Amino acid sequence: MAKRGFDVITVGSATVDVFVYTNKTEQIKIIDEQCEHDLIAYPSGEKILINDLHFSTGGGGTNTAVAFARLGLKTGFVGNIGCDENGTKVKSLLHKEKVAFLGTVSNEKTGYSIILDSREHDRTILTYKESNNHLYYQKLPLPKLKTRWFYFSSMMEESYQTLEKLAAFAQSKGIKVAFNPSSYLTKKGLGYAGSLLKKTTVLILNKEEAEMLVGKDRIEKVLAKLRAAGPALVVITDGKHGAWAHDGKTIYCITPHKVNVVETTGAGDAFASGFLAGYLKKKDVCFALRLGQVNAESVIQHFGAKEILLTYSQAQKAIKKEQCKVVSKKC
């Protein structure tokens, strides 16, 4: 247990998710002068039968909170949910997973997402933000936010301003910040996120998001450019191609295993939370990469973003069994 309250408090979105499965999808590729786009297509004007529906709670804030709790960390969650049935579902799930709810409740509707699956097991997400965009700093129970780390997932509008204020609060209290921005934020560029990045200790994002911030380049240079923006440790994921980490002295690379991919929603959250949990426990980047990798691989082999998140014991066994290979080289 942390000496000063929580080990980690996640700050981010909370949603109720519905996963929709149908055989009527097609995946198409559009190529223009700048890049390729993979699109999921549905027949126009048809009534399409749904093969299966799966309901769960989601959102980067609650996904990672549950992941941290299962990995043995004392965890709290800060976010804004609605005073409605879906908000009750979110709070019930957090209570079940032994995550303390430290957020706010408002009159807006709780966030909602529809995940459309494809035959290639990739997905398109339709997301309704509503209450997630209205997390106000002045309404937070600051005296209760005693923690070693904050983990920030991507937020928008007023809620992003709250992240910036919480980062300043963290700095004044000696709390470290991990930040996992999404394309919503990174497409705004380094100038928009720069203030928050300067207060970030660990930055975790995927390759596309990283390139939105600092431009396309060799992975070593992208890592270095992001470190120059403020974070002491930068981690970049690239799906089946693995992940890289840069701590200023060494660049690390982990190669993923070939697994049966069922559904990829939540893989990024599972990796990021697994990485940070491993780093908190051992201060070892290699171990952190391995823990993040096995956690993500567990999630993508099942439906839903939370159901098969690993416990710390399960993760240790998976690391030992799978022998995740990490290669490192000095900068």
By the 10 Å C-beta count (0-12 exposed, 13-18 middle, 19+ buried), 245 is classed as buried
Domains and CATH numbers, the chain: 6-13+59-110+124-330 (3.40.1190.20)
What pLDDT, on a 0 to 100 scale, did the predictor assign at position 90? 94
CA angle 183, 188, 193 (to 5 degrees): 90
- Take residue 269 and report the two structure tokens written for it: 């959250």
What pLDDT, on a 0 to 100 scale, did the predictor assign at position 256? 82
What pLDDT, on a 0 to 100 scale, did the predictor assign at position 263? 64
Could you give phi then psi for residue 14, rounded to 5 degrees?
A: -135, 130
Quick check: 207 and 268 in contact, CB under 8 A? Answer: no
Rounded Cα–Cα distance for residues 298 and 261 (Å): 9
What pLDDT, on a 0 to 100 scale, did the predictor assign at position 1? 37
What pLDDT, on a 0 to 100 scale, did the predictor assign at position 179? 98
Quick check: 218 and 331 in contact, CB under 8 A? Answer: no
Quick check: 230 and 200 in contact, CB under 8 A? Answer: yes
- Take residue 124 and report the two structure tokens written for it: 């398109």
Rounded Cα–Cα distance for residues 137 and 95 (Å): 23
pTM of the model: 0.89
Q: What is the pLDDT along the chain (331 residues), one digit of tens a residue?
A: 345 699 999 999 999 888 887 776 666 777 766 667 777 777 777 888 888 888 888 899 999 999 999 999 999 999 999 999 999 999 999 999 999 999 999 999 998 888 887 665 567 888 888 999 999 999 999 999 999 999 999 999 999 999 999 999 999 999 999 999 988 899 999 999 999 999 999 999 999 999 999 999 999 999 999 999 999 999 999 988 899 999 999 999 998 877 766 666 678 899 999 999 999 999 999 999 999 999 998 887 765 546 678 889 998 998 888 777 899 888 7
Rounded Cα–Cα distance for residues 81 and 134 (Å): 9
By the 10 Å C-beta count (0-12 exposed, 13-18 middle, 19+ buried), 49 is classed as exposed
What pLDDT, on a 0 to 100 scale, did the predictor assign at position 2? 43
By the 10 Å C-beta count (0-12 exposed, 13-18 middle, 19+ buried), 141 is classed as exposed
